[in-house]
Structure 1
Amino acid sequence: MTDKTATGKTGTEAKPTDSVSVKLRKAHRHGGKEYAAGDSLTLEVRQLDRLKKAGKV
Structure 2
Amino acid sequence: MTEKILDDLLNISTENEVVEFKEAKAQYSKEKLGEYFSALSNEANLKSLPTAWLVMGVKKR
Larger radius of gyration: 1
Structure with more helix by fraction: 2
- Same-fold call, TM cutoff 0.5: no
TM-score, with length taken from structure 1:
0.28
Q: Work out which structure has the larger RCO, using CA pairs closer than 8 Å and 6 or more positions apart in sequence.
A: 2
- Larger strand proportion of the pair: 1
